[in-house]
């Protein structure tokens, strides 16, 4: 809230919408939000069923498709937007878009799941997590810790990016080769690799971690941004 206000660099449809008056601009944004919500409601369930059915028809593990194909499809817009910002050398905004998406996933979206489940099941037992779902949760948490460790010094080198890509494809290949029978084992091993790597990186970057904690909790905003 204390950050200085900057005029955004608008192009394309965003520039066109910004040329409207205040009332028309707000109405346009609201209409796009409603349209997006409607499209998601209409397509989410058919897409999920189609993914599972396609896997059955072609002999592909249901867990493999749900773990890899569905997230790539759902997160493609965020990836494209972040890539466009990076292409225009707006790296802070690009990374901020991905980080904010991750925060939303682990707060609003995860917190909504038990509520939706309770409404659907007409119960108050909460969302059951067991078996493969528990392994997926462990893997996601391990990856989050690894990502925090990577970005603790507020920069990312090409070598670090190469490690992230290598770990991604390593787990992808292991999941595809192992199939459904070794799915849980792959989750545990991949989680262990991410946790060990995160611990090692944090030990190397411990000074950066302390600096980030101090800046985030105590340093005034004006001192974080050069004049």
Residue spans per domain, the chain = 1-59, 62-123, 129-227
Average pLDDT over residues 146-150: 87
Residue 2's pLDDT is what? 65
Q: Is the pLDDT of residue 1 over 70?
A: no
Q: What is the pTM of this model?
A: 0.69
Residue 127's pLDDT is what? 79
Bigger pLDDT: 198 or 91? 198
- Show the tokens assigned to 6: 């900057």
Lowest mean pLDDT among 61-65, 139-143, 162-166, 202-206: 61-65
Q: Is the pLDDT of residue 225 over 70?
A: no
Q: Is the pLDDT of residue 226 over 60?
A: no
Residue 227's pLDDT is what? 43
Residue 49's pLDDT is what? 83
Write out pLDDT tens, residues 92-133: 788 888 888 888 888 888 888 888 888 888 888 777 877 777
Q: How far apart are CA 44 and CA 48, in angstroms?
A: 6
Write out pLDDT tens, residues 184-200: 788 888 899 999 999 99
Residue 3's pLDDT is what? 66
Write out pLDDT tens, residues 152-210: 887 788 888 888 888 888 887 887 777 667 777 888 888 999 999 999 988 888 888 88
**CA 56 distance to own-chain centroid:** 27
Q: Is the pLDDT of residue 223 over 80?
A: no
Write out pLDDT tens, residues 15-37: 899 889 999 999 999 999 999 99
Mention every residue, 6+ apart, whose C-beta is less than 8 A from residue 68: 172, 175
Q: How far apart are CA 54 and CA 50, in angstroms?
A: 6
């Amino acid at each position: 809230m204390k950050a200085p206000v900057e005029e955004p660099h608008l192009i394309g449809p965003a520039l066109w919408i910004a040329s409207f008056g205040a009332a028309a601009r707000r109405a346009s944004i609201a209409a796009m939000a409603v349209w997006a919500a409607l499209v998601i409601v209409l397509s989410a369930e058919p897409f999920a069923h189609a993914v599972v059915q396609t896997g059955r028809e072609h002999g592909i593990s249901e867990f493999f498709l749900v773990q890899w194909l569905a997230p790539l499809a759902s997160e493609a817009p965020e990836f494209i937007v972040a890539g466009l910002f990076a292409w225009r050398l707006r790296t802070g905004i690009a990374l901020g878009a991905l980080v904010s998406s991750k925060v939303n996933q682990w707060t609003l979206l995860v917190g909504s799941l038990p509520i939706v489940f309770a409404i659907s099941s007409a119960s108050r037992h909460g969302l059951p997590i067991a078996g493969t779902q528990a392994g997926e949760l462990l893997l996601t948490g391990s990856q989050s810790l690894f990502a925090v460790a990577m970005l603790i010094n507020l920069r990312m080198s090409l070598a670090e990016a190469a490690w992230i890509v290598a770990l991604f494809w390593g787990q992808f290949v292991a999941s595809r080769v192992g199939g459904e029978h070794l799915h849980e084992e792959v989750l545990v091993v991949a989680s262990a690799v991410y946790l060990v790597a995160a611990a090692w990186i944090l030990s190397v970057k411990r000074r950066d971690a302390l600096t980030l904690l101090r800046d985030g909790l105590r340093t005034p905003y004006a001192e974080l941004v050069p004049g």
